Structure 1
Amino acid sequence: MSRFVFSRFARYFEEVARLGSIRRAAEELNVSASAIDRQLLLAEEEFGVALFERLPRGVRLTAAGEILIYGFRRWQQDLSRIKFEIEELRGLRRGEVKLAVVEEATFDFVPNALASFMQDHPRINLHVTVAEPDRIRQLVLDGQADFGLAFDPQVTPALRIERQARFRFGALVPRDHKLAGQREISFSHCAQYPLIIPDSIGYLREAIEKLALRAKVLLKPMLTANNLSFIRLMVAQGRGIGFVTSLGAEADAKAPGFSYAELSDRGISPASLTLFAAAERQLSAASILALRYFAVYFDDLDRLTARRR
């Protein structure tokens, strides 16, 4: 059918079905009857069934023809909706995009991904919710967020994965610390000093606990907090070593209060930053466009990472 939907056949077929006559359709469309008949015969050959009954005084749709005309009309309705949404993207109408993201992505990733989108589409309103991975997943499934960005969300058939990128774990070390300036460092080495870690069960806390277990270190943090911005501030003040993924490693390396060092420990799987949407939900044109900007940013980041390996 795809060969015919965007061809002249669609116009011929619908007009013949409407008028019940090839001759009258030819007059209406200002083409020859033989040209219309030829298109109909080609379509019937491809489908392998007759689309019209040839009657003494015209034609009548067969059961297969009825199915096809229904499909055409539904396609036309979809096309009208698509045209409307494309107009929205051209800035003729306002739109709204709701996204839910993990906190660690807000330091560098999300602002960079949104910068060009906001510049190109200033009339589309954005609403960003920062939450834990499980909450992000639920917001997407409930329709309260158009798409989500989270580390290692629980994947089910209800979610459609758009992009993924893997990030290793690293340490944030105060600038004036003995360990500052190292490119790599082991968790057991970090554990000899005061630690500042997340207090909630999530991708980062789980990784830290696995690292402690493998290093045979009793985890006794000096400070726990449920906010990564606060943890970064405390590290910058020299109160301890924190842990993050390599997601914002470049920005962390340039930060005035601390340096970033990748953890040298092996056997811990990298965290997968995942861009996802609800599998069965139809997104608005504005949300589809925003999702595309994020996908392109993922692809660019992947190419950049590949060149550095």
Structure 2
Amino acid sequence: MQRVFFTRFFSYMEEISRLGSIRRAAEVLNVSASAIDKQLLRAEEELGVPLFERHPRGVRLTSAGELLMYRMRAWQKDMRAAAFEIEELKGLRRGEVRIAVPQEAVTSFLPQALSGFLRENPRIFTSVRVAESDRVRQMVIAGEADFGLTFSPRPLPGVSVLRELPFRVLALMPEDGRKSVSLDRFFSRPVLVPDATSHLRDVLDIAAARAGVELAPVMTSNSLELLRQLVREGCGHGVIAVCPDAFEGAGAGLAALPLRGAALPDLTMALISPRDSSSALASVLAKRHFELFIDALKG
């Protein structure tokens, strides 16, 4: 059916199904009953099935008619949502986007990715929740976040992976002019490590096991920022996960150095979104921005 015919016919079907009579629907719509009946017959001919059962006392939707009405109502709802989002795009309304990220992504990568989006979309309210990677995935599945970043190991059931980006694990040490550090030297000093909520802890445990070194941290914490500050204070060595092409340095007084002789496992960040769900315009714009940002880094 043509779109204009479809829209007009939808209003006819709604009134006919509500009133149970073509004649009464014609009176309400101020259209001749014969005109409505002709359009109904035309639609049934094009679809190849009857849409109404005709009885002496009126008409009633068939199963095919019920299905068509359901689909047409969904189409109308989608059109209203599209009109709403177009108003958002024109700046007539404010959008909102919710992002969930792990702590490991906050250093350098997230500020760079977010800054461009915030500058380009000043009317969209953006909220960022920091959580452990496994929790990020659950938040996306539960609808608590529009999309997220995670370092959770594959597979990732329940979500769609939009992009992936390799991260590198580096030793975090006070600045002393070195360009790299051996694993032996790294473990010769007190080690400040993330707790089990961070995948960085898994990387350190694996590196120590492969090197035959017993990992005996002097402190653990779920705050990577606290550990970074304690490394700056000279309390020991730590680790940091960075995207090489987005890393701007560990900060004043600190150095992020490659670990020599360390067979570190890969760490991959994934941009994830809910599977099989519609998204508001603000979320679509934000996800697309992150996709292009990651593509640019990889390209």
Q: TM-score, normalised by structure 1?
A: 0.72
Q: Which runs of 5+ in 2 are unaligned?
A: 14-21, 23-30, 32-38, 52-60
How many angstroms apart in 1 are the aligned matches of 2:110 and 2:238?
21
Alpha-carbon displacement from aligned partner over 1:233-257 (angstroms, at most 9, x marks no partner):
1222233221122326764536221
How many angstroms apart in 2 are the aligned matches of 1:153 and 1:281?
23
- Paired residues for 1:120-199 under 5 Å: 120-152=120-152, 155-176=155-176, 180-182=178-180, 185-199=181-195
Residue 296 of structure 2 corresponds to which residue in structure 1? 300
Alpha-carbon displacement from aligned partner over 1:73-104 (angstroms, at most 9, x marks no partner):
53243122112112113221112222111112
- Paired residues for 1:236-255 under 5 Å: 236-247=232-243, 251=247, 253=249, 255=251
Distance 1:154 1:199, change over 3 A: same
- Give 1:292 shift: 1.5
CA contact (8 A) 1:149 1:274 kept: yes
RMSD of aligned Cα (Å): 3.5
- Give 1:291 shift: 1.6
How many angstroms apart in 2 are the aligned matches of 1:120 and 1:275?
20
How many angstroms apart in 1 are the aligned matches of 2:157 and 2:273?
11
Alpha-carbon displacement from aligned partner over 1:10-47 (angstroms, at most 9, x marks no partner):
22455578599xxxxxxx9xxxxxxx9xxx9xx96xx8
CA contact (8 A) 2:109 2:247 kept: no
AA partner of residue 74 (structure 2):
R
- Paired residues for 1:61-80 under 5 Å: 71=71, 74-80=74-80
The alignment partner of 2:205 has SS state of helix
AA partner of residue 158 (structure 1):
G
Distance 1:196 1:262, change over 3 A: same
How many angstroms apart in 2 are the aligned matches of 1:124 and 1:252?
27
The alignment partner of 1:126 has SS state of strand
Residue 203 of structure 1 corresponds to which residue in structure 2? 199
How many angstroms apart in 2 are the aligned matches of 1:247 and 1:275?
14
- Give 1:216 shift: 0.4
CA contact (8 A) 1:193 1:240 kept: yes
The alignment partner of 1:117 has SS state of helix
The range that moved more, 118-127 or 249-258, is 249-258
Residue 231 of structure 1 corresponds to which residue in structure 2? 227
Residue 279 of structure 2 corresponds to which residue in structure 1? 283
The alignment partner of 1:116 has SS state of helix
Tell me how many residue pairs correspond in the alignment.
268
CA contact (8 A) 2:207 2:262 kept: no
Residue 58 of structure 1 corresponds to which residue in structure 2? none
The alignment partner of 1:168 has SS state of strand
Distance 1:208 1:124, change over 3 A: same
The alignment partner of 1:253 has SS state of coil
Residue 58 of structure 2 corresponds to which residue in structure 1? none
Displaced runs of 4 or more, over 6 A: 61-66
Distance 1:289 1:252, change over 3 A: closer
- Give 1:213 shift: 0.2
% same residue: 36
Residue 307 of structure 1 corresponds to which residue in structure 2? none
CA contact (8 A) 1:181 1:261 kept: yes
CA contact (8 A) 1:108 1:248 kept: no
The alignment partner of 2:258 has SS state of strand
The range that moved more, 151-160 or 274-283, is 151-160
- Give 1:212 shift: 0.2
The alignment partner of 1:163 has SS state of strand
